[in-house]
Amino acid sequence: MRAVVILLFNMAEKRDDILAENFKICIEAVIPMFILLAIGFIVRKTGIVNNTELKKMNRLAFDVLFPFLMFANIYNSHIREIVNLRLIIFTLAAIGLEYAIGTAVTLKIEKSSASRGAMIQAIYRSNFVIMGLPIATNIYGHGNVGVTAVMIAIVVPLYNILAVATLEVYRDSRVRAGRLFANIAKNPLIIGAAAGIVFSLAGITLPEVVEDTVNSLSSTATPIALMILGASFEFGSVKDCRRNLIVVVLSRLVIVPGAVLTVAALMGIGNIEFVTLVGIFAAPCAISSFTMAQQMDSDGVLAGASVIFTSAFACITMFLWLFIFKTAGIF
């Protein structure tokens, strides 16, 4: 009897140690991002940067630094080992289903065309690049997230295609396929990823001084982008879009990740592939969805509020999703 009690005590102690370690891993994956968001918010509120400077910094991050980040993550990986066909098919199917259900729900509860476009985009389009990639990097380290970088090269164009098509349809315009695909081909993220794939497949080795420069530039991309996102937070009035905002927040942070990640876990998807899915399906709304909504005559108030509130609550929900599935032994 005494032996059984000791065994149970040791098992409980070991379980507590595992839970504590899982908690530590998940906290360390999420907290650095939200410290950077807070720094950006403070920088803006104290007047260190203004709107004009913020726009220029945003362009610097996305047009210059992120292409180097995409290139470096793929270039430093073995491309044939990081292209996971099952993960790609699962992700595309999940995004398609997410888009279809999100559209059906939106059409049911919202009658305004402008609000419909913004709401659909907010539900399916996540901030995968800025929030998902750092999560994977914080858990697995630089140089070990090639899988995530490849998925960015696949998911970002799909997000862009669906966003433009959706916003055009709900402002009663015709979608210009040629212009749409030309813009996607010119997307700096896609160019950076494509260059990384070419260099990796061809076995081209950069001179050491060039590789060091690329790695230095790539390492600055995420911190700067997160501070820019934090500096962009504006907590204005959301009274007129409160119902839609609640639907977006619950869908983006709870319902979608809960469904998709559970199915992925049951299918045996784990490790870096699973953490990549967390970045795709549990991250908050993409900040570019606000810019596109404004440019394409959609509901800018709802789009902006969706970015801000999902980003704020994601510090809790992303940690919880990571902790739940880490404790379950999925990654």
| Domain edges within the chain | 2-327
Cβ atoms of 221 and 65 closer than 8 Å: yes
Cβ atoms of 98 and 122 closer than 8 Å: no
Confidence band, pLDDT 50/70/90 cuts, at residue 237: low
Residue 300: Cβ-neighbour burial (10 angstroms; 0-12, 13-18, 19+) = middle
Looking at residue 12, what is its pLDDT? 46
Tens of pLDDT, residue by residue over 43-52, are: 998 999 888 8
DSSP three-state, residue 285: strand
Tell me how crowded residue 21 is: count the other CB atoms within 10 A of its CB.
Answer: 12
Angle between helices 177-185 and 146-169 (to 10 degrees): 150
Q: Which of 47-61, 194-208, 226-240, 280-294 has the lowest mean pLDDT?
A: 226-240
Rounded CA-CA distance 89/158 in Å is 13
pLDDT at 142 over 70: yes
Q: Which amino acid is at 196?
A: G
Highest mean pLDDT out of 27-31, 64-68, 151-155, 249-253: 249-253
* Token duo for residue 7: 């065994």
Rounded CA-CA distance 327/171 in Å is 45
| Closest residue by Cα to residue 57 from 192, 282, 229 | 229
User: In CATH, what number does 2-327 get?
Assistant: 1.20.1530
Q: How far is CA 218 from the centre of its chain?
A: 17
| Closest residue by Cα to residue 130 from 154, 148, 147 | 148
Question: pTM to 2 decimals?
Answer: 0.79
Better pLDDT: 137 or 28? 137
Looking at residue 11, what is its pLDDT? 42
Mention every residue, 6+ apart, whose C-beta is less than 8 A from residue 138: 28, 29, 30, 32, 33
Whose tokens are 């402008």? That residue is 114
* Token duo for residue 127: 């901030």
Tens of pLDDT, residue by residue over 84-126, are: 899 999 999 999 999 999 999 999 999 888 889 999 999 999 9
Looking at residue 69, what is its pLDDT? 85
Distances 255 to 98, 247, 249 between C-alpha atoms, Å: 10, 10, 9
Mention every residue, 6+ apart, whose C-beta is less than 8 A from residue 304: 234, 236, 290, 293
Rounded CA-CA distance 74/66 in Å is 12
Rounded CA-CA distance 278/281 in Å is 5
Whose tokens are 């998709």? That residue is 260
Confidence band, pLDDT 50/70/90 cuts, at residue 59: confident
DSSP three-state, residue 200: helix
Residue 237: Cβ-neighbour burial (10 angstroms; 0-12, 13-18, 19+) = exposed
Looking at residue 4, what is its pLDDT? 42
Looking at residue 255, what is its pLDDT? 96
Looking at residue 288, what is its pLDDT? 76
Confidence band, pLDDT 50/70/90 cuts, at residue 256: very high
Q: DSSP H helical segments within 127-176, as ranges?
A: 133-140, 146-169
Question: What rounded mean pLDDT belongs to the chain?
Answer: 84
DSSP three-state, residue 126: strand
Mention every residue, 6+ apart, whose C-beta is less than 8 A from residue 278: 132, 135, 257, 261, 318, 321, 322, 325
